[in-house]
Structure 1
Amino acid sequence: TIDTTNVLFICGGAFAGLDKIIERRIGKNSLGFAEELQGTKIEKGDNVYAHVMPEDLTKFGLIPEFIGRLPIISAVHPLLEKDLINILTEPKNALVKQYNRFFQYDNVELVFTDGALSAIAQLAIERQTGARGLRSIIENALLDVMFELPGREDVTKCVVTRETIERHQAPTLVTEAGAVGALEDEEQTA
């Protein structure tokens, strides 16, 4: 057996649909009259999850025995574009750094423009995937290039731009001779 006396358990997740349960509870009229509950009106832009109560989690489907073992319920704020860009670039094992190391195996410098990083973050927000969705966005943008680069010894740099992400254009490839072009351009001449 494991002694859990001094162990803090943290449970997290997206809890899709919980926001509607909270909104219904807060939007209820008190005592059947048409007056609003004082101090609990949710303004536009508020984080509805900040108003979560144990009964909301029960209606969501969690059993009371489980909820009772969670003494503190806290909501986090949604990640903003700048937060997602930091996740992409700042940690020791950030996604941009991981892909850069991968490209270095083929002696290619991988560069993400500020516009590309912004577009990746905006797309993750639009898809409501948060940080979890960042890898799939980058993977989708670089898949063809990662497949072709091992056979392209002339390429020295791969530049991912906003257009690469938003318009699904191939990244810009820079060769030893200084030529600039996209992957599709190279394939057409081969």
Structure 2
Amino acid sequence: MNLNENFNILLTPKKIKKKLDEYIIGQEKAKKILSVSVYNHYKRIIYLNNNQDNNIEIKKSNILLIGPTGCGKTLLAETMAKILQIPFVIADATSLTEAGYVGDDVESILQKLLQNCQYNISKAEKGIIYIDEIDKICKKSENVSITRDVSGEGVQQALLKIMEGTIASVPPQGGRKHPNQPCLQLNTSNILFICGGTFDGLKKNINKHYKKNIKIGFNNFINNNINKKKNTNLNDITSKDLIRFGLIPEFIGRLPIIVTLNHMNQNMLCQILCKPKNSIIKQYKKLFLMDNTILEFEENAIIEIAKQTLKNKIGARGLRSIIEDLLLDTMYNLPSMNNVKKILINKFVVQKKINPIIIFHQK
């Protein structure tokens, strides 16, 4: 998609979601919200480019993704950028510090974005920046301290301007800015920021807050039921909940779209293994075909891999580790073997962590 061309080339929300469905299993609501949000974001850019004398300012809407480890937050943002063919960069919030302190300052994110599009400023200014582990830069405490919170509230303050839109000075070769150094000028007004985090403990904080407000008596029966609903999920999370968790109000104001993602269940993990265009099993099958060998997973093996992944509590990202461990010895030995027709993995191979079954060509 070339945003400098006619508006008609921009994919509709339905088409964006359909493409997301090819790579991402589940998370239907999140995919729908993201599809609409990203469509509106780039529709806004095209409108601004074609209507210089407009009298209605359409504000940018950055996005906050909240969900457990391995639920697909990063994959959603990354896949969206691939679908739209726009520059994309992932930054880790835990590596960022306030300007002037040891660590990466926020301009380093913009520098990486420029690197990813060969320093094409026009392309970078329409890119997507995904900031992971954003919950790790929450304020350490509501109490004022003489010690600056350079990796918490300080980073939130530093991110405010570039997330809202500013002309940032970025060193062309990376590193920190210094006096008299020539810098590239990058307008961040049209860069879409997507922030993601697990927000461990958020549900507990919400429950604690609402329990304080539960009153005794029949007249409060309805209110108490509402509180119970709040206790069961994060779908109704509010800005106030996030502020109590440690994000400052100004920072939350730059993230008006809040999307919650669900835990992966066994069925979703089984589908992730097999169904997407670039599913993990399809990737390994392709690798084995390069050695003229068929790789086959029985259905009971796929179910067992999903069960083990759930047990490990690391979400979909744990699937590859399990398969890699299962196939390591086979991948080591196979290139030196002759006459191998098929490698078969059943549930006993997964359960007992034994070598896969090797089937040879008949002579």
Q: How does 1:67-78 map to 2 (within 5 A)?
A: 67-78=252-263
Q: Which moved more, 1:155-164 or 1:2-11?
A: 2-11
1:173 corresponds to 2:350: no
Q: Distance in 1 between matches of 2:338 and 2:284?
A: 18
Q: 1:109 aligns with which of 294, 297, 321?
A: 294
Post-superposition CA distance 1:36-92 (Å, at most 9, x none)? 734120499x4x222322233234333332212111323222222222222211222
Secondary structure of the residue aligned to 1:40 is helix
Q: Distance in 1 between matches of 2:211 and 2:310?
A: 27
Secondary structure of the residue aligned to 2:341 is strand
Distance 1:101 1:53, change over 3 A: same
Aligned match of 2:212: 28
* Cα-Cα RMSD: 2.6
Q: 2:272 aligns with which of 81, 87, 91?
A: 87
Q: Which amino acid aligns with 1:37?
A: N
Unpaired runs of at least 5, structure 1: 179-190
Aligned match of 2:35: none
The Cα of 1:163 is off from its aligned counterpart by 1.9
Q: Answer yes or no: is the 8 Å Cα contact 2:207–2:230 preserved in 1.
A: no
Q: Which amino acid aligns with 2:304?
A: A
Q: Which amino acid aligns with 2:202?
A: L
Q: Which amino acid aligns with 2:194?
A: I
The Cα of 1:6 is off from its aligned counterpart by 6.2
Secondary structure of the residue aligned to 1:22 is helix
Aligned match of 1:184: none
Aligned match of 1:134: 319
Aligned match of 2:250: 65
Q: 1:39 aligns with which of 209, 219, 226?
A: 226
Q: 1:19 aligns with which of 191, 203, 211?
A: 203
Query: What is the TM-score normalised by the length of structure 2?
Result: 0.43
The Cα of 1:125 is off from its aligned counterpart by 1.9
Q: Answer yes or no: is the 8 Å Cα contact 1:113–1:160 preserved in 2.
A: yes
Secondary structure of the residue aligned to 1:93 is coil
Q: Answer yes or no: is the 8 Å Cα contact 2:349–2:355 preserved in 1.
A: yes
1:155 corresponds to 2:340: yes
Secondary structure of the residue aligned to 1:28 is helix
* Deviant stretches of 4+, over 6 Å: none
Secondary structure of the residue aligned to 1:39 is helix
Distance 1:25 1:164, change over 3 A: farther
Q: Distance in 2 between matches of 1:18 and 1:94?
A: 32
Q: Which amino acid aligns with 2:285?
A: N
Post-superposition CA distance 1:144-172 (Å, at most 9, x none)? 11111111123211111122222212211
The Cα of 1:110 is off from its aligned counterpart by 0.5
Aligned match of 1:118: 303
Q: Which amino acid aligns with 2:300?
A: G
Secondary structure of the residue aligned to 2:362 is coil
Q: Distance in 2 between matches of 1:74 and 1:124?
A: 24
Q: Which amino acid aligns with 1:119?
A: E
Distance 1:169 1:73, change over 3 A: same
Q: Which amino acid aligns with 1:103?
A: F
Q: Answer yes or no: is the 8 Å Cα contact 2:230–2:236 preserved in 1.
A: no
Q: Distance in 2 between matches of 1:64 and 1:164?
A: 52
Distance 1:101 1:72, change over 3 A: same
Q: Answer yes or no: is the 8 Å Cα contact 1:26–1:37 preserved in 2.
A: no
Give aligned-pair identity as a percent: 39
